[in-house]
Structure 1
Amino acid sequence: MKKAITKQVDFCDTCDNGGLTYICLGCGKCACYDCKKKGEMIEYSHAVHFSGSGDGNFCPDCVDKPPNEKIAILLAAYRKISSLRTEEKGWYDNFRTRCDKAEAELKALIE
């Protein structure tokens, strides 16, 4: 059986690709996966320890100059999470370096 349906599809504002698109929370601009990877969209995680549904996407223009105060506050909250993720990664990298050094010292003493 065939059915006629009307379907609304988002297209990338940069390359006009009709695949998966990411929408800027500030201005509504759409970017496809490839354009997002090229920097047309910046994704911010919504939590420190995981990401996924609820992540925020912003175009570089809205990151540089948010269109209104509400978006500026939202972007600042996403940036706090991003900063904490970076800080945690730094802690872990430092911890991992010290662990490797301690394990190497012990291994040298045992052998």
Structure 2
Amino acid sequence: MAPAAPVPGAPGHVAAPYGYDPYGRPYSDKSKTVAGVLQIALGSLGIGRFYIGDNKIGAWQCAVSILTLGIGGLWGIVDGAIMLGTEGKTDSEGRVLRK
């Protein structure tokens, strides 16, 4: 059984303008679909990762693509497919990405 969503104003309550998932975690303002499509389309530049605030991995994806003359762009395509296919992916603040 999923735990109840946190009560507004209670200690540890996080503002969640997009609501909570079934496990009581707040939803992000970022979309999983947008992040996945950006990552597939522009994954060699790490754009999908930059969109969700994961700047470190985005920079690594860009650097690997440049150093491998574009072959590292496959990492972005695979990463985008994983983003689209998995549940519970989070943004840089630990909030669950919306669909």
Higher RCO, 1 vs 2 (CA within 8 Å, ≥6 residues apart): 2
User: Which structure has the highest helix share of the two?
Assistant: 1
Alignment TM-score, normalising by the size of structure 2:
0.25
Alignment TM-score, normalising by the size of structure 1:
0.22
| Higher gyration radius (CA) | 1
